[in-house]
Amino acid sequence: MHAKTKSRLEVALIYAFLLVMFVVIAYPLIWTVGMSLNPGTNMYSTSMIPEVVTFEHYRWLFTDPDSDYLIWYKNSLFVAVINSVASVLLTSLVAYAFSRYKFVGRKNGLYAFLLLQMFPVLMGMVALYILLNIIGLLDNLWGLILIYIGGQIPFNAWLVKGFFDTIPRELDEAARLDGAGHFQVFFQIMLPLAKPILAVVALFNFMAPFVDFLLPRIVLTSSENFTLALGLFNFINNEFANNFTRFAAGSILIAVPIALVFLLLQRYLISGLTTGATKG
């Protein structure tokens, strides 16, 4: 085959693949948006774009006295912000210690983190339920936050440690020669240089409370403590309230805070994902 023809064929295949992926990703999104604008409660409509467009479902979510949507939104934002900030700080401290210091159990600790990532979260659900019940944090947002923060450490510690390993140790040594202490080196040198990978950690941990259903389902029982994923499930789960259009409207609005955080951290994300995986 001629080189020029082969090159054009490769480009055509790439564009065909991208088009297929676009359809796979865009179709559910467009269908959900259309369903949220469709009157009634039916999951199916005659077309993807409704013939009669209504914002009644969005209005109901925010104004109806029977709607707890704003409470669920506030709970999700609260858990997401606390989880994101605490995870960044705790993960960076753990990763910095494993990257820069030699101590007893360092190697075994890294292997333990690696081993913990191999087991599914479902294996620990019963133990987590019993633990939260013992310490009095069952049906409490702080109990949910505690599990989120602790559960992200193994994977994110490896990710951030890989990024810290790429930062030259000469910077640490030069700072200590100038009289900087351990925390000064960490906060004034390492954290600013690690912004890309910390942005990745912040985004992932901000998204988790909005999209996670299983863990809140086990931990939370009161409607006033529900997160969005758990609360919206009631729109289609209750025996006499199979309101799929209202569920679609509430689901679309979940993307708003996630998109805003993504836009704020966008310039750091690509370099953070690529650099953090270069070393382990």
Query: Whole-angstrom Cα distance, residue 112 to residue 238?
Result: 42
Query: Whole-angstrom Cα distance, residue 31 to residue 232?
Result: 18
CA distances from 238 to 31, 51, 179, 241 (A): 23, 28, 64, 5
What's the pLDDT at 272? 55
Helices within 64-194 (DSSP H only): 69-100, 106-116, 125-134, 141-165, 169-177, 182-185, 191-193
What's the pLDDT at 65? 85
Query: Whole-angstrom Cα distance, residue 146 to residue 209?
Result: 12
What's the pLDDT at 207? 92
- Taking 70 as the pLDDT cut, the residues of the chain under it are 1-2, 42-48, 238-241, 270-280
What's the pLDDT at 173? 84
What's the pLDDT at 106? 85
What's the pLDDT at 47? 62
Distinct helix (H) and strand (E) counts, the chain: 13, 0
Domain boundaries, the chain: 3-58, 68-276
Q: Are 260 and 271 in contact (CB under 8 A)?
A: no
**Which residues neighbour 178 within 8 Å (Cβ) at sequence distance 6 or greater?**
none
What's the pLDDT at 1? 56
What's the pLDDT at 105? 84
- CATH code for residues 68-276: 1.10.3720.10
